[in-house]
Structure 1
Amino acid sequence: MQRWKVNLYVLMGGSFLVMAGMTMIIPFLSLYLQHDLGLTDEHEIGLWAGFIFAANFVTAFIFQPLWGKLSDKYGRKMMLLRSGFGMSIVMVLMGFATEPWHLLALRMLNGVISGYMPAATTLVSATTPKDRMGFAMGTLQSGGTAGAILGPFFGGLLADSFGYRPIFYITGSLLFLASTISWLLVKENFDRTAAALKKQVSVLRGFRDLMVIRQLPVLLSITFLIQFAMLSPMPLIPLYVQKLHGTSENLAFYAGFVGSVTGISNMICAPLLGRLSDRIGSKRILIVSLAGAAVMLIPQAFVHSVGQLLVFRFLLGCFMGGLIPTVNSLIRRHTPDGMESRSYGFNSSALSLGNMMGPIMGGALSGYFGIEGLFILSGALLFVTCAWAMRALRVKKLEPTV
């Protein structure tokens, strides 16, 4: 097997383990705050859950460009290992938290040292032939996204069986395993001597140099808007499932299942859409995926059962598979050689900002609109993003196939 394919499949598996571990706490975070940490008011729980979930992305937003700069200087594999092993330690420490602010502080620390996914994306993009970039980005993203969505399923299942705290120890073990696999199997031809001889510029100067490329600020903005819209309702989905389910029996399992079903369809569709983007263009896939995701979000506000919610979450995942991978592919296409890590670092900051602001705004607005209103607002935001992306990226009208 070609080296770029070996790296791709190993990092796809590593991304799955990392994201599964990182998201295992989602289905029971609000329930954990309610049952173990003594919070009782539903709005207060929503606010704490939103801030704790977003805390990781606050510091990640600040530090990702720095890790991107160091990655261009010292190598992407080193950033993989730094992030993976560091996060495994922090995650275990979360199992000893006794107050909401303990989780908040540790999630912030986790954001400081995070960066496995951006480093994996940069390493794959630097070693993959450009005519296979869509397939590679889709395959890599399918592993990460499937882990991010299947993580809640495993977390809910394990929480019902073992309780909440052991999940943090299991998560730390998964992160350690992913880092070890990457250490042993991923190979990178990186000349540190040549990199050290290159003129070093500040993070701010690197940002200015990249932002003069017309497509890049547009793509970073789209990344932010996608994550903001997708993550706004996420922390409150367990309470929504509780409302639809009508009983506390197997509640954590159903909450995890609702989150994980999106990962199943995402895992299937991301590589397929990646291959298709190599044939007809990443821009077209991005536009169609944005519109489709918007259409699938809005009906989730009007469902009357967990089964109906599952159907729309599954269909949402089909279109999610064409979002971030196509953005990553377009970023690589428009980024000068030698600046890939910085470019993906800034994109990771945009993603983190969306991950941070989405849950915070979702928790704050839930008291006024409810989670049903959040689904409608998120869908409307993706429709606006779709229209703007079509104009800003100058996507040509799709022509019918013969």
Structure 2
Amino acid sequence: MPSQKTRWIAVWIFFAFMLLHQSDRLLIGPLTVDIMEEFQITQTQMGAVFTGALIVGAVLYPLWGWLYDRYARARLLALASLIWGVTTWFSAVAPTYGWFVASRASTGVDDSSYPGLYSLISDYFGPQVRGKIYGLLQLTMPFGYLLGMVLALLLGGVIGWRAIFYITGSLGIVLAVCIFIWVKDPLRGQSEPEFENLAEIGIYRFEWKIARDLVKKPSLILLFVQGFFGVFPWNVITYWFFAYLEKDRGYAENTILITMVPAILILAAGYPLGGALGDLWFKRTPRGRAYISSIGVIIGAVLLYFTMNVPNQQTGLFMVLLCATALFIPFASPNVLSTVYDVTLPEVRSTANALLSFSESIGSALAPLIAGIIADAFSLQSAILWICLSAWALCFIFFLVTAHFVPRDVQVLRRQMAQRAANEKSAAQAA
């Protein structure tokens, strides 16, 4: 088992990687208006820019998952960080709209690299605390967006959006070196409670039969379907909310900053809070994570409806309701990921996560484009509300159904791990 120091070095390197990568990935949202003005494009055309990277990432998720389950995860993650840096540079030098669409699409290659990172964490920390760790790491999504927004507002008008992409791309290369040098690859499954008192454990490798069995688990199938709809709201909000505040509500840059900073900070708190609540309730019942997820999406949907219908001149009330919405909508994220690992064998966890992410990305890849089309026909407010409320209503139903099936799938995994532990003890005694 890696030392506590080794584990936390990996966690903080991953935190830095995800923070800067998310900042680079989400930076385009605050820069949307500047980019549209330079290339003289419509909202539908800008939606195609967002969608291109999402489609590339979606297609490559299964490949990344397979690679992570077969080869050294830390080395592959370092490669992904290097690809992030290079493809971001390509975006910075794109001379025309067509080249910009292609270069932004290429950034999707590394966007699908997270399954290996989460798999590594599952072998550093046991199931009783994973929700907290995933919640901690997922702080990087709102913080990354906040960092990107600050960079866009403070530097966009001074050095231009292209120079900002040069900066974030260079950081990707620096992180690649850090991951390569300092992150260690633990044995798969070593953090499972059944292996806690074993001096040595065997090496378990990816098998196609085990991977195929993933789609036979009812709880996983439901989470995959939920994922198809669940990321629609996130991509619409990520890529279009900044433009909505500027164009539909008429907010100046200072007002946007004052409104968004507290909302993003509270959104960030929702990740570890949701993960901690999920861990707490999971100790009482295997259904706990699904219950927390369902509570988060339904409360978030109701609050978003009231938020978006606040009159434009009532900026204070809008900010308060936006902050309240932001607290609940991340609850599901760390719990969905933890549930995937609660029911899958260690040697196929990257594949399971990749299948979830593939489902999410296929569904959400069209979300920015659909939002752009709706916005051109009606308004950005209509696009954000229609997509978010319908998607979260479906997710609420899927989480409740998942809660029905997940105890059986958790029990199956625990029996499998107990059998492996018994086999390891027998082999050690025979030796």
Q: TM bucket by the smaller chain?
A: 0.7 to 0.9
Contact 2:58 2:358 (C-alpha < 8 Å) held by counterparts = yes
Contact 1:48 1:100 (C-alpha < 8 Å) held by counterparts = no
Deviations 1:117-159 (A, max 9, x none): 3221121122211111111111111123421344233223221
Q: CA deviation at 1:263?
A: 3.0
* Aligned residue among 291, 294, 297 for 2:304: 297
Corresponding residue number in structure 2 for 1:313: 322
C-alpha distance in structure 2 between counterparts of 1:254 and 1:162, whole Å: 22
| 2:360 alignment partner AA | L
| 1:326 alignment partner AA | N
Query: If the length of structure 1 is used for normalisation, what is the TM-score?
Result: 0.86
Corresponding residue number in structure 1 for 2:36: 33
Corresponding residue number in structure 1 for 2:22: 19
| 1:53 alignment partner AA | F
Q: CA deviation at 1:261?
A: 4.3
* Aligned residue among 385, 393, 406 for 1:376: 385
C-alpha distance in structure 1 between counterparts of 2:134 and 2:295, whole Å: 17
* Aligned residue among 388, 393, 398 for 2:403: 393
Contact 1:71 1:119 (C-alpha < 8 Å) held by counterparts = yes
* Aligned residue among 112, 116, 132 for 1:115: 112
C-alpha distance in structure 1 between counterparts of 2:142 and 2:122, whole Å: 17
Q: CA deviation at 1:200?
A: 4.9
Q: 1:338 is paired with a residue of what secondary structure?
A: helix
Contact 1:64 1:346 (C-alpha < 8 Å) held by counterparts = yes
Corresponding residue number in structure 2 for 1:274: 275
Q: Which has the larger radius of gyration?
A: 2
Contact 1:72 1:338 (C-alpha < 8 Å) held by counterparts = yes
* Aligned residue among 106, 125, 130 for 2:127: 130
Structure 1 residues 310 and 177, CA, compared in 2 at 3 Å: closer, same or farther?
farther
Q: Are 2:326 and 1:349 equivalent residues in the alignment? A: no
* Aligned residue among 337, 340, 346 for 1:331: 340
Contact 1:150 1:261 (C-alpha < 8 Å) held by counterparts = no
Q: CA deviation at 1:49?
A: 1.4
Structure 1 residues 330 and 200, CA, compared in 2 at 3 Å: closer, same or farther?
closer
- Equivalence map 1:1-400=2 (5 Å): 1-34=4-37, 36-39=38-41, 45-190=42-187, 198=205, 200-201=207-208, 208-243=212-247, 246=250, 251=253, 255=256, 261-280=262-281, 281-303=288-310, 304-305=312-313, 306-377=315-386, 378-394=388-404
Q: 1:232 is paired with a residue of what secondary structure?
A: helix
Deviations 1:39-61 (A, max 9, x none): 3xxxxx21111111121110111
Q: CA deviation at 1:308?
A: 4.3
Q: Could you list the runs of 5+ residues in structure 1 that have no partner in the other structure?
A: 40-44, 397-402
Q: 1:26 is paired with a residue of what secondary structure?
A: coil
C-alpha distance in structure 1 between counterparts of 2:264 and 2:182, whole Å: 26
Percent identical pairs in the alignment equals: 20
Contact 2:69 2:206 (C-alpha < 8 Å) held by counterparts = no
| Number of corresponding residues | 381
Structure 1 residues 311 and 375, CA, compared in 2 at 3 Å: closer, same or farther?
farther
Q: CA deviation at 1:254?
A: 5.2
C-alpha distance in structure 1 between counterparts of 2:260 and 2:363, whole Å: 19
C-alpha distance in structure 2 between counterparts of 1:104 and 1:257, whole Å: 31
| 1:363 alignment partner AA | G
Q: CA deviation at 1:218?
A: 1.0
Q: CA deviation at 1:77?
A: 0.8
Contact 2:115 2:351 (C-alpha < 8 Å) held by counterparts = no
Structure 1 residues 178 and 148, CA, compared in 2 at 3 Å: closer, same or farther?
farther
Corresponding residue number in structure 2 for 1:400: none
Q: 2:345 is paired with a residue of what secondary structure?
A: coil
Q: 2:404 is paired with a residue of what secondary structure?
A: coil
Corresponding residue number in structure 1 for 2:194: none
| 1:228 alignment partner AA | F
Q: Could you list the runs of 5+ residues in structure 2 that have no partner in the other structure?
A: 189-201, 282-287, 407-431
Q: CA deviation at 1:369?
A: 3.2
Q: CA deviation at 1:257?
A: 6.2
Contact 2:9 2:183 (C-alpha < 8 Å) held by counterparts = yes
Contact 1:15 1:178 (C-alpha < 8 Å) held by counterparts = no
| 1:8 alignment partner AA | V
C-alpha distance in structure 2 between counterparts of 1:200 and 1:244, whole Å: 52
Q: CA deviation at 1:198?
A: 4.5
Query: If the length of structure 2 is used for normalisation, what is the TM-score?
Result: 0.81
Corresponding residue number in structure 1 for 2:423: none
